[in-house]
Amino acid sequence: MRTPSRILALLTTLLFGLTATSYAVPAQASSPSPTSYVAGSPASYVVSSAAALPSCDLSSLPPEASDTLDLIHSGGPFPYDQDGTVFQNREGLLPSEPSGYYHEYTVKTPGSPDRGARRLVGGGPTTNPEYLYYTDDHYASFCEVDESA
C-alpha cells in the first residue's frame, strides 16, 4: 500500500505550496523608469509614462512645426484631409483624456512623397490647444511643446 502514502505526500506538498503562495508578500509597484534620450531630433525620447514626457521648445522643432501651429491657431485650411481629426492616443503615451480631446496635424516633411511621420497633437480646444505635443516618429514618442520658447 505504497500508493496511498504517495498520494498523501503529494496532497500535503500541494496544500503547503498553495498556502505558502497565499501568504507571499506582494511585489512592490515599480516606479516609472526615467525618461531616456535616444540620439536624434528633439522628439527622439523614449518615455515610460505620460507623466514623464519631456518638453521641447517650439524654436527647436523644424520650421514646418511653426507653420502647422499657425494653421492650428487660425483654424486652417489644412493641407491634408486627416489634419484636425481626432487622435485616439492608442499608444497611451499622452495623458489619458476623453475621446475627442486630442486632434492631430501633419508637420510637413520637405521631400517626402506622403504625409511623413511628423505630427503636432493638440489637446483641448482645436484652435487654442491647452497642450501641444510633437512627434517625429509617427507616435512612437512625444515631447510637450513649449510655445513660449
Active site residues: 104, 138
**Cell numbers describing residue 52:** 514623464
- What lies within 8 Å, CB to CB, of 142 at 6+ separation is 43, 45, 47, 53, 93, 94, 121, 133, 134, 135
Distance of alpha carbon 80 from alpha carbon 116, whole angstroms: 12
HSE-CB of 27 using CA atoms within 13 angstroms = 3
CA separation, residue 83 to residues 21, 68, 80, 102, 108 (Å): 53, 10, 5, 12, 11
Q: Which of 86, 79, 83, 71 lies closest to 128, judged by CA? A: 71
